[in-house]
Amino acid sequence: MGPMPARVRTASSRVAQALAALDRASMRKTPQRVAIVRAFVDDVTHPTAQQIFDRLRRAMPTMSFATVYNTLAALEQAGVCRTLELDGAAGEGGRRFDPIVEPHDHAVCDRCGAVRDVPRHAQQSAGAPLEGFHVRAIDRIYRGECARCRSSSAEQSANSAEK
């Protein structure tokens, strides 16, 4: 991979690519699988399979968790989805699914577990070679407090200062 700027695909082309990936995996494009694809490609919150399942189950009560998980696994196999393993105390633990496969980093909030994308500059992605080790990927995780949690903690301390 060269130092090409990451081209971010549009959501509609992500849907088309993901549906093509199901074809290649010989998975029939059932209404449930199409719904999973559509819910997933626009989701920038890095959901777990359980979160996607919970969201779709209301509209599709017959959907099983296995259908969600297997569909996402097929997308990952096809390279149109990447996964991120997070361990943390703020409920962000577990396997998170990410529709953006271009190299990028993540920022995780210690308080609410929110995950956001951090763009990576070309020079950062070219890591120094490690002797005797082939680098497949570099995953950087920034940990701290998100804007929402920061403003709510500022509000709380303002409220307690008033008393």
Tokens representing 158 are 């303002």
DSSP three-state, residue 23: helix
Task: Go through the chain and tell me how many residues it has.
Answer: 163
* Cα distance between residue 72 and residue 43, in whole Å: 13
Question: Which of 23, 139 has the CB closer to Zn ion?
Answer: 139
- Please choose, out of 4-12, 54-62, 123-131, 140-148, the segment that lies near Zn ion by the rule CB under 5 A: 140-148
- CA torsion 55→95→103→78, rounded to 10°? -80
Report the Cα 28 to chain-centroid distance in Å.
Answer: 24
> Considering the complex, what minimum distance in angstroms separates the CB of residue 110 from Zn ion?
8
- Please choose, out of 50-58, 64-72, 115-123, 135-143, the segment that lies near Zn ion by the rule CB under 5 A: 115-123
In the region spanning residues 67 to 106, those forming contacts with Zn ion, defined by CB under 5 A, are: 98, 100
Question: Which of 30, 152 has the CB closer to Zn ion?
Answer: 152
> Considering the complex, what minimum distance in angstroms separates the CB of residue 100 from Zn ion?
5
Residue 147, φ and ψ in degrees, nearest 5? -60, -40
Using CB under 5 A, pick the residue from 76, 102, 105, 117 that binds Zn ion: 117
41 is a contact residue toward Zn ion (CB under 5 A): no
* Cα distance between residue 140 and residue 137, in whole Å: 10
Footprint on this chain of Zn ion (rule: CB under 5 A):
98, 100, 109, 111-112, 114, 117, 146, 149
